[in-house]
Amino acid sequence: MSLPQVLLATRNAHKLAELRRILAGTGADLDLLGLDDVPAYDEAPETGATFAANALAKARDGARHTGLPTVADDSGLAVEALNGMPGVLSARWAGRHGDDPANLRLILDQLVDVPARRRRAAFVCAAALVTPTGAEQVVEGRMEGVIIEGPRGDGGFGYDPIFVADGQARSNAELSPEEKDAISHRGAALRALAPVLTARVAAGA
């Protein structure tokens, strides 16, 4: 008997691997597909003012075009000294979407004269589930920490090399995938969403 299919609405290979790993760790017995595993469709631009709005828009798109229950997330870095920015602009903070090294350098340049006590930040993730019947659920996870003065580590992706979570001595990029999953914003959001996802899929709702 084949497993129920669920679409994870991303083309980012790092994020897809992370989503699959976290959901597998919850015991969710599902066939998790990425956007490259389904017929291509026109994806709406991420124009929402909040992480939740963007996550919902992506999940609605996926469910509408594929007929599959769809999970999407929008996440980013909120830096206190930058008034919560880059926020929803995290992936394109330096101007080009997905240019992680440029985004990271820009954040460091913007904080170059900011003392350690004012370098508080948080990773924030909104994870949304939309089913073909129109049921919707959104949850949020946070990981609080600080921005350090320079990159450390070669794991993770995005801003991981310059972020040290509260209670940690190593940057996110120095943690193993399992260590990061246990404390990450995305891990928290997906673990909260997983029971809803499995219940909805089981009910066909």
Answer whether 31's CB lies under 8 Å from 25's CB.
no
Torsion, Cα of 124, 107, 35, 129 (10° steps): 10
Half-sphere exposure of 120 (CA within 13 A, CB side): 6
- Whether 154 sits among the annotated catalytic residues: the reply is no
Answer whether 89's CB lies under 8 Å from 136's CB.
no
Dist CA 159 CA 103 (whole Å): 8
The residue annotated as part of the active site, out of 73, 74, 160, 181, is 74
Supply the residues annotated as catalytic: 74
